[in-house]
């Protein structure tokens, strides 16, 4: 959500010279709406554990789901966690950065995992500004540094060195 928000706000912040968005959808396309909608339904049913399990599966690259250690949320914090997740996902479903990032004249780099299930190649913003770059990280899901450290690190370092 933060990457989408930064794309929406970049042109409004005069001292921002460069923006890096990592695994940030530019807008909620039909697939993202469906996936987040499913998680929201599970959260509405009060099943935080299942929602976290679904989210964990969706942040991993397509086809390479590895079961991670289940996060235990103390009982007294479950309602707060559910409410925060619902608010965040609903907010993301209302965000659309497509008409905002094109107004930003500074340097912009967006990284998206080739095998990402949430922030996908299809739901990225599109800008024809020569200062704006979009890079696909081979084999990566929503966590490009975890999924393909070398390529992600190289792309980001090269971009930073040109600032």
The string of pLDDT tens digits covering residues 15-49 is 999 999 999 999 999 999 999 999 999 999 999 99
Can you name the residues that pair with 136 across neighbouring β-strands?
112
Question: Which of 67, 94, 121 is the last residue in one of the domains?
Answer: 94
Write the CA distances from 117 to 14, 27, 35, 40, 62, integer angstroms. Answer: 33, 14, 9, 16, 7
Lowest mean pLDDT among 52-66, 110-124, 131-145: 52-66
What does the DSSP 8-state code read for residue 20?
A: E
Residues sharing a CB contact under 8 Å with residue 107, sequence separation 6 or more, in sequence order: 17, 18, 19, 131, 132, 159, 162, 163
Q: Tens of pLDDT along 45-92?
A: 999 999 999 999 999 999 987 777 677 889 999 999 999 999 999 999
Strands of the sheet containing 107-113, edge to edge, are 18-22, 107-113, 132-137
Same domain (yes/no): 85, 35: yes
Of the residues 42, 68, 94, the one at which a domain ends: 94
Average pLDDT over residues 124-151: 97
Query: Which of 43, 72, 94 is the last residue before a domain boundary?
Result: 94
pLDDT digits (tens, 9 = 90+) for 120-132: 999 999 999 999 9
Residues 6+ apart with CB under 8 A from 158: none
Shared domain check, 83 and 59: yes
Confidence at residue 1, expressed as pLDDT on a 0 to 100 scale = 76
Query: Average pLDDT, stretch 102-125?
Result: 97
**How many independent structural domains does the chain possess?**
2
State how far the alpha carbon of 132 is from the alpha carbons of 101, 128, 135, in Å. 9, 7, 10
In this structure, are 11 and 47 located in the same domain?
A: no
pTM over cut 0.75 = yes
- The residues pairing with 108 across neighbouring beta strands, listed in sequence order, are 19, 132
**Domain around 120:** 2-27+96-161
Report the chain's mean pLDDT, rounded to a whole number: 95
Strands 18-22 and 132-137: unpaired
Q: Does 48 lie in the same domain as 16?
A: no
Quickly tell me which residue has 């397509």 as its tokens: 62
41 and 6 fall within a common domain: no
Residue 100 and residue 88 in one domain: no
């Amino acid at each position: 959500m933060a990457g989408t928000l930064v794309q929406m706000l970049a042109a409004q912040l005069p001292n921002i010279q460069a923006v890096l968005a990592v695994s940030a959808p530019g807008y909620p396309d039909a697939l993202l709406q469906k996936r987040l909608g499913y998680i929201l339904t599970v959260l509405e049913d009060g099943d935080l554990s299942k929602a976290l399990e679904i989210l964990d599966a969706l942040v991993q690259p397509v086809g390479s789901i590895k079961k991670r250690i289940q996060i235990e949320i103390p009982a007294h914090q479950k309602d707060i966690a559910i409410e925060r997740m619902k608010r965040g996902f609903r907010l993301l479903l209302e965000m659309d950065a497509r008409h905002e990032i094109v107004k930003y004249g500074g340097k912009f780099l967006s990284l998206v995992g080739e095998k990402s299930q949430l922030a996908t190649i299809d739901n990225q913003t599109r800008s024809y500004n020569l200062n704006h770059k979009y890079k696909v990280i081979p084999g990566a899901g929503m966590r490009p540094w975890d999924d393909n450290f070398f390529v992600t690190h190289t792309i980001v370092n090269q971009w930073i060195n040109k600032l």
